Structure 1
Amino acid sequence: MQVLRELVQIITRIKLRSIRRLGFPFNQDTQLGEMYELLADQAEDEDVARAVTGQSSKSGTFRRLKSDLVDRLIASLFLVDLSLPSYNNRQQAYYIIHKNWAASKILFGKNARMAAVELAEQTLRQALRYEFNDLAFDLSRNLKLHFGTVAGNHNKYKEYAKECSRLQKVLQAEMMAEDNYTRFISEFVRKKADTAVILEEAKKAHLSLLPYTEQYDSYTLHLYSGLLEMGIHTAASAYEVADGVCDKLIAFFEEKEYEASVPLQIAYYQKLLCSFQLGKFAQTTDFVIRGLELLQEGSYNWFKFQETYLVLALHTRQFDTAYEVFCRATGHARFKAQQEEIQEYWRILEAYLYFLFEMGELENAATDKRFTKFRIGRFLNQIPIFSQDKRGVNVSILIIQILLLVSQKRYHDTFVKIDAIEQYSRRHLFTKDTLRSFYFLKALLELPKNSFHKVAVQRKAAKHLEKMRAHPLEEAGQASFLTEIIPFELLWEYITGLLDNDFH
């Protein structure tokens, strides 16, 4: 049923109206129409089957209806406008060019050659302009065959034969870049992979692409070559070099005569992550503004970009900027429409901002009811998904709990959590990627163990903090900002500043 659900999300009720006037793909008062409406209303599979056929979703009758609806919705793709007003020129061209390419293939197959050739030539010009080289190659090949064997137009044949030959070489280079990048990602994510060997092979693969990137000004070639180069340097924690690769990609794709939004979004977002690792903030304003311009406001990627920008601001002590980003994102009309895990992470960010508010760092939030009425218990009840994330974001939840309990002098509640947190740390955090979190939690546990006595806590925690500093943030990888929302060193300054030399 997932195939059907995806089709229903694409061919919405509004888009269906225009072609229903033709009696296609189905009438509303039929079984197919009823099935479509139920799927559009997000009904469960079994409920759809019972309502439409009176039988289970495994029955032959329902399977046949489902197959018929899939076929009709796929056929409808060619009759509805799939572009959106928010799409840029290349995104809109994608659907137009693919539709016309398919139509020209059908016309050639039906021997309607005049119509086929006219549409193929028009589509080829568009495909070349927007660098859909795979379609352009196929169109030029069809036109070469037509003018060389059917129409007998030698000049046209030579024109398309030359174009076909050129595009074949470009496509080979593009496929090599795609293969090299895909192989790198596939190998790198394997748990037992030898990172050093993979990086060495990836470097050789990238070097093999350089003659082609110098020769061809290809969208796909430069995208995957750039992603491969960027991946090599980020995997090796060479963020200064990776930042330079981002600049190179941005310069290349900003020069295109159309808006190359996908590679630019990737490059600007990756540059933001590099800035996070390098602790840069002053230079981010211009490229953050441009990065957000490329994103549809209120989209998933828009919120992810804002999320990363906020954490970068926290890591560089730009707390007012972080609060402004928080208000802009959570106040957006589409915030509540985001996936639950997205909303949960913003609630965790809110908790850290609240801690800064208690530390006197957010004067602008003095009248914000989210902070003046913040409650730890309510916060914990609002994050059920990440509370189960044993090695990831749940670490940031445990840390903020301890920080808030200590800031509110709820010492008994902190004592109660010692054993559970110690067992959790040993079981889930003593791994290469989470050692900073492991040692920071060990330092925090010295608070209740030493009765919150400032001198005693600092003396006992020193060894854990020294081990933590032996694993700098840049070694932890780019996903580390999900757990280390505010640098642990800074949090330790705040927490020890709350202590005195009395035993509690």
Structure 2
Amino acid sequence: MVEIVLFMEEIKALVRITADDNNVNLLFPQANKNNKEGMLYQNLLTDVYSDDAIASKDLYNSHPNDVKYKMLKHRLKKKLYNNLFFFDYSKQKLKKAHQKEQECIHLLHHAHLLLRLYERDIALNLTSKVKSIAKDYEYINYLIDALELEMTNFSDKGDLTKYNSAREELEYYLYIKKYEREAITLFQLLRIQLKKSVKSRRGNLLTFEEDLVRLKLLWQKTKSYETFNAYYKANIIYHEMTGDFSSIVDLTVHSEELLQAGQVNKIRFDADFNKYILVYAHLRAKKLERGLKYAAEFLYAFEEDNPNWFAYMENYFLLALYTRNYLLVETLLHKVFNNPSFKKQQGAAKERWTLYQAYFLLLNSTVANFNNSINPFLLSLPEYSKDKQGFNVAILILQFIHYLQKKDTEALLYRIESLKKYILTHLKETFSLRSKTFLKLLILTVTEDYDAKSSRTKGQKLYQKLVEAPTPGDAFAEIEIVPYEHLWDHILFILENKYQ
């Protein structure tokens, strides 16, 4: 049963990929009742067939294990895979570098075939094109493959001079590839460690430092794009884990300088990613005004129908919220929720934006009353939910302030017990200090019977502890949608105006 499901998902994926490709029309010129391949393709494309049972029943009035149905799927899958050879990558939203990579792969495929057919001169013409592209884009793998084909060709021809020239070039790129492979492997292992528990990640920080030193050495040895990319991205991960966001700011700025100086491959380097990280790092390093300036400056680089645009807008929105620029916040929210592609975003992304909107309504008294605007799903969420990891504290705080605004003391008494339990269970580590301290301030408002003056006075030590607490690494921390210092000001404002 599992194999059948996977097989159906494989075909569905191929159908989605080829949906906008003109070549598919040539595959199924008669998508009608007499052409079952065409029917299967069209009905998968339009989600008429959600599983094998429905498809086999409709096409053959049979079951998924029917031989005729299995053979039909096999033929369709084979045609769709063959069609990938003619896939027009230029019409897809792929970066130029990725399109050129595919071009190298296709040229090498043809060169290998032609060499086997003894069309040596044509094969050499193709390897020459591969080498030209691969050198520009620093695709060492394809350079090595092209040079090996050339050596085979020159050996067959008995051309020693050209053979030795290709061999020397190959040895140089094999040297580069050796260190590139080591750098890529180190980076991949670091990424795997990020999938582990928080305790495990923290325990690996010392080894991580040693790996960064090695990655820098590999980059200095080769000056190749792949070694730089591994070093660059590993640095971002490490400084994110340690909470050193100022170093990420420095890294992104330095990377731009290296790019302009020609020390990093301009056509391979992901300049848009660097812009995204630069804005994100300014947010987390609390360099807010400068971050806001960069966010506005670089917005042009992200197309509004691309998921990356929404990710970028999250940082832009939070920078505006942190600087209390509520007019800009409202404008950004309007742009996001009115973007036609918003409904296509993942469920988690949509929920984050709902949470962001709720915080904006909470803080901006000029907008519709918060009590009437909070999304009901935020109030009914449990005290702890793994699928909301990173936002659990934000949701708890939002719920608490909602009931504080409503003067629902019974709900607040229940909430403080939940907060105490949450602190004891989930906020034990040092990187949770800010969240733990702020939740204690919330509890204090209830124990002080909602008295603003008493809460301010008795909460001063906790507040100072909050201010002095270091910014935790993003790999460990709960996200502060609004700085806790700002939220404390707002809570005192509520107490002064609603409970006196």
Equivalent positions of 1:200-219 (< 5 A) are 200-219=206-225
Query: Is the 2:241–2:476 Cα contact (8 Å) retained in structure 1?
Result: no
Query: Is the 2:358–2:373 Cα contact (8 Å) retained in structure 1?
Result: no
1:437 equivalenced with 2:435 (yes/no): yes
Of the three residues 265, 268, 271, the one matched with 1:260 is 268
Equivalent positions of 1:186-205 (< 5 A) are 186-191=192-197, 198-205=204-211
Per-residue deviation, 1:496: 0.5
Cα distance change of structure 1 residues 135 and 24 upon mapping to structure 2, 3 Å threshold: farther
1:379 equivalenced with 2:375 (yes/no): yes
Partner residue of 2:489? 493
Q: Calculate the TM-score normalised by the size of structure 2.
A: 0.85
1:453 equivalenced with 2:451 (yes/no): yes
Of the three residues 44, 47, 50, the one matched with 1:44 is 50
Per-residue deviation, 1:246: 1.9
Query: Is the 1:131–1:219 Cα contact (8 Å) retained in structure 2?
Result: yes
How many Å separate the matches in 2 of 1:130 and 1:323? Answer: 42
How many Å separate the matches in 2 of 1:110 and 1:90? Answer: 30
Of the three residues 317, 321, 325, the one matched with 2:328 is 321
Partner residue of 1:355? 362
Per-residue deviation, 1:64: 4.1
Cα distance change of structure 1 residues 284 and 51 upon mapping to structure 2, 3 Å threshold: same
Equivalent positions of 1:232-271 (< 5 A) are 232-253=238-259, 255=262, 259-260=267-268, 262=270, 264-271=271-278
Per-residue deviation, 1:453: 1.7
Q: Calculate the TM-score normalised by the size of structure 1.
A: 0.84
Moved more, 347-356 or 150-159: 150-159
1:312 equivalenced with 2:314 (yes/no): no
Partner residue of 2:36? 31
How many Å separate the matches in 2 of 1:383 and 1:107? Answer: 66
| Percent identity for Structure 1 against Structure 2 | 20
Equivalent positions of 1:110-259 (< 5 A) are 110-147=117-154, 149-191=155-197, 198-253=204-259, 255=262, 259=267
Partner residue of 1:361? none
Query: Is the 1:50–1:56 Cα contact (8 Å) retained in structure 2?
Result: yes
How many Å separate the matches in 1 of 2:69 and 2:379? Answer: 39
Once the two structures are superposed, residues 77-98 of structure 1 have per-residue CA deviations (whole angstroms, 9 ceiling, x without a partner) of 0112123365443233232222
Q: Secondary structure at the match of 1:279?
A: coil
Query: Is the 2:183–2:231 Cα contact (8 Å) retained in structure 1?
Result: yes
Once the two structures are superposed, residues 322-349 of structure 1 have per-residue CA deviations (whole angstroms, 9 ceiling, x without a partner) of 3333232223222222222212211111
Moved more, 383-392 or 441-450: 383-392
Q: Secondary structure at the match of 1:499?
A: helix
Query: Is the 1:349–1:485 Cα contact (8 Å) retained in structure 2?
Result: yes
Query: Is the 2:361–2:373 Cα contact (8 Å) retained in structure 1?
Result: no
Query: Is the 1:57–1:63 Cα contact (8 Å) retained in structure 2?
Result: yes
Once the two structures are superposed, residues 28-80 of structure 1 have per-residue CA deviations (whole angstroms, 9 ceiling, x without a partner) of 65333222222212332232343334344455554444343332211110112
Per-residue deviation, 1:405: 3.5
Query: Is the 2:292–2:319 Cα contact (8 Å) retained in structure 1?
Result: no
Query: Is the 1:315–1:486 Cα contact (8 Å) retained in structure 2?
Result: yes
How many Å separate the matches in 2 of 1:339 and 1:225? Answer: 30
Partner residue of 1:362? none
Query: Is the 1:300–1:338 Cα contact (8 Å) retained in structure 2?
Result: yes
Q: Secondary structure at the match of 2:295?
A: helix
Q: Secondary structure at the match of 1:451?
A: coil
Superposition RMSD on alpha carbons, in Å? Answer: 3.3
Cα distance change of structure 1 residues 229 and 66 upon mapping to structure 2, 3 Å threshold: same
Q: Match for 2:442: what amino acid?
A: L
Q: Secondary structure at the match of 1:500?
A: helix
Cα distance change of structure 1 residues 449 and 202 upon mapping to structure 2, 3 Å threshold: closer
Cα distance change of structure 1 residues 420 and 292 upon mapping to structure 2, 3 Å threshold: same
Per-residue deviation, 1:223: 0.4
Q: Secondary structure at the match of 2:480?
A: coil
Partner residue of 1:477? 474
Query: Is the 1:295–1:302 Cα contact (8 Å) retained in structure 2?
Result: yes
Once the two structures are superposed, residues 274-310 of structure 1 have per-residue CA deviations (whole angstroms, 9 ceiling, x without a partner) of 2122210232356435654443332111101110221
1:3 equivalenced with 2:10 (yes/no): yes
Query: Is the 1:188–1:198 Cα contact (8 Å) retained in structure 2?
Result: no
How many Å separate the matches in 2 of 1:330 and 1:501? Answer: 32
How many Å separate the matches in 1 of 2:436 and 2:69? Answer: 53
Q: Secondary structure at the match of 1:329?
A: helix
Query: Is the 2:28–2:38 Cα contact (8 Å) retained in structure 1?
Result: no
Q: Match for 2:219: what amino acid?
A: T
Cα distance change of structure 1 residues 8 and 407 upon mapping to structure 2, 3 Å threshold: same
Cα distance change of structure 1 residues 469 and 47 upon mapping to structure 2, 3 Å threshold: farther
Partner residue of 2:115? 108
How many Å separate the matches in 1 of 2:54 and 2:236? Answer: 48
Cα distance change of structure 1 residues 259 and 291 upon mapping to structure 2, 3 Å threshold: farther
Partner residue of 2:284? 277
Unaligned runs of 5+ residues in structure 1 are 359-365
Query: Is the 2:283–2:291 Cα contact (8 Å) retained in structure 1?
Result: no
1:334 equivalenced with 2:330 (yes/no): no
How many Å separate the matches in 2 of 1:385 and 1:114? Answer: 68
Of the three residues 60, 73, 78, the one matched with 1:66 is 73
Q: Match for 1:218: what amino acid?
A: S
Query: Is the 2:317–2:332 Cα contact (8 Å) retained in structure 1?
Result: yes
Query: Is the 1:83–1:91 Cα contact (8 Å) retained in structure 2?
Result: no
How many Å separate the matches in 1 of 2:315 and 2:198? Answer: 29
Q: Match for 1:105: what amino acid?
A: H
Query: Is the 1:273–1:308 Cα contact (8 Å) retained in structure 2?
Result: yes
Unaligned runs of 5+ residues in structure 2 are 1-7
Equivalent positions of 1:77-92 (< 5 A) are 77-84=84-91, 86-92=93-99
Query: Is the 2:56–2:69 Cα contact (8 Å) retained in structure 1?
Result: yes
How many Å separate the matches in 2 of 1:294 and 1:57? Answer: 47
How many Å separate the matches in 2 of 1:476 and 1:213? Answer: 26
Cα distance change of structure 1 residues 171 and 35 upon mapping to structure 2, 3 Å threshold: same
